[in-house]
Amino acid sequence: MIQITNPATFWLTGLLFFIAIFGRYVLFSLLFWWLFNVSMKDQFAHRAVQTRPRKPGQDWREIGWSVLTSLIFTAIALAVIVAYQKGYTQIYTAARTYPLWWYPISILSVLFIHETYYYWLHRWMHKPGVYRWVHKTHHDSITTSPWTAFSFHPLESTLQAIVIPALTFVLPLHISAVGIILMIMTFSSAVNHLNTEIYPRDFDHHWLGRWLIGATHHGLHHAQFRFNYGLYFTFWDKWMKTESPDFHRLFKEKTKSALGVEDKKG
Ligand SMILES: [Zn+2]
Ligand SMILES: [Zn+2]
């Protein structure tokens, strides 16, 4: 674990964290963009969720907001490191500090709590008085792309960023579990904003797939505003009956033909 002992190491740590956080976003976004818009473009062309073109300058606008988001995540990460050094957090580094079964359970618990927090925060952010100030920036992207994944107003970034650090004060988390959770978060956000459905046919009825949010599910949130508020999982939307009535029909439509079949017709 990094030791912050003076202002120089504080700023250096901050810089390294910013590079890691922003770099992780750029890396995932570039990888997904390249995979589905360049490398396998033809196979996935018919799986575009939204077909209206992205607005001029949308990529750079989203990247600009994502720089601000990364700065906020960095500031909060630094605060957690300082708290960790002072012994305030429950983060542990020796693998045997807790039983092995706790490791996967701790990750699942964080994902469940994060999901619950985000679902209700998201519902609140869609209230008319709040939406304009906090959440509109993210919804300026109607046709999303992996670049949309971190495109939030700083108020929203802060509200989103506080929950996992807060959990490090109450839940014992191995340092690598924190890393895995952050990776899942970035991966899920890139998949959900991809605007290309990458899940297989009938995955929306699969025992596991039905609980996972993907590009069609979240794409409908950006198109319709009133449905699909979840982050990683669909259960709150199913329980609260806020899942889009168009979801299964659209998912079926996007996944009906085998990959690349449409391109071979002509
Ligand atoms: Zn929203
Ligand atoms: Zn979104």
pLDDT tens, residue by residue, 144-190: 988 999 999 999 999 999 999 999 999 999 999 999 998 898 889 98
Split at pLDDT 50, 70, 90, the class of 261 is: low
How many Cα atoms sit within 13 Å of 220 on the Cβ side? 23
Q: Which residue has better confidence, 262 or 103?
A: 103
Split at pLDDT 50, 70, 90, the class of 264 is: very low
CB atoms within 10 A of CB 145: 23
User: What average pLDDT is seen over the chain?
Assistant: 91
Question: Ligand 2 center to residue 172 CA distance, Å?
Answer: 30
Question: Ligand 2 center to residue 85 CA distance, Å?
Answer: 34
Question: Ligand 2 center to residue 88 CA distance, Å?
Answer: 33
Classify burial at 99, counting beta carbons within 10 Å of its beta carbon; exposed 0-12, middle 13-18, buried 19 or more: exposed
**Residues 4-46 pLDDT 10s:** 778 888 899 899 989 989 998 899 889 988 898 888 888 888 8
Question: Ligand 1 center to residue 85 CA distance, Å?
Answer: 36
Residue 216 pLDDT exceeds 90? yes
Nearest ligand to the CA atom of 156: 1
- Residue 88 Cα distances to 113, 174, 199, 206, angstroms: 21, 15, 41, 42
* Phi, psi of 244, rounded to the nearest 5 degrees: -60, 135
Split at pLDDT 50, 70, 90, the class of 2 is: low
Nearest ligand to the CA atom of 195: 2
Residue 60 pLDDT exceeds 90? yes
Mean local confidence (pLDDT), 205-216: 96
**Cα dihedral 98, 99, 103, 109 sign:** negative
Question: Ligand 2 center to residue 93 CA distance, Å?
Answer: 33
